[in-house]
Structure 1
Amino acid sequence: MNLILAIVLIVVALLAGVALGFFIARKYMMNYLKKNPPINEQMLRTLMMQMGQKPSQKKIKQMMRSMNNQMDNK
């Protein structure tokens, strides 16, 4: 009886640890990506120039705002 109880407690503790670790890692990554976005204005300007477009500051700001709104909605 004690052996079964010990095994059940170990399994429950393992599952709780995995779930807690997942949520902590997810929260950390969301904060990291918010502080350090994967793309910035300079990268966006270079990308648009490579596609043959002449980027205006207004268009770049608009695209950055759109990308930030998309990140906030997730």
Structure 2
Amino acid sequence: MFWYVLTAVLALAAGVAIGFFIARRYMMDYLKKNPPINEQMLRMMMMQMGMKPSQKKINQMMAQMNKMEKK
């Protein structure tokens, strides 16, 4: 009976550890492929759309994006 419990606990601990490292690796790869938007990227997107970006407008859009991200 003791060996069953010990085996179950060890298997659970190994599963949690392996799952953590797999999830960490997945998130690092995802962020490398899809970096979060920063002010420079936002400025470039606005210029491509034909808008002349002012710092005030960029700050407003970054604040709005951060607000949406927190929800």
Bin for the TM-score computed over the shorter chain: 0.5 to 0.7
Give the TM-score, by structure 2 length. 0.55
Give the SS at the match of 2:41.
helix
1:5 counterpart residue number: 5
Matched length: 61
* Aligned counterpart, 1:17: 17
In structure 2, the residue matched to 1:60 is 58
Q: CA-to-partner distance for each residue in 1:16-48, whole Å, 9 max, x for gaps?
A: 4356x37xx4xxx7xxx8xxx722222211111
Per the normalisation by structure 1, the TM-score is: 0.54
Identity %: 52
Structure 1 vs Structure 2 CA RMSD: 3.0
1:64 positional shift: 0.8
1:70 matched to 2:64:
no
Distance, in Å, in 2 between the alignment partners of 1:47 and 1:12 is 47
5 Å matches for 1:41-52?
A: 41-52=39-50
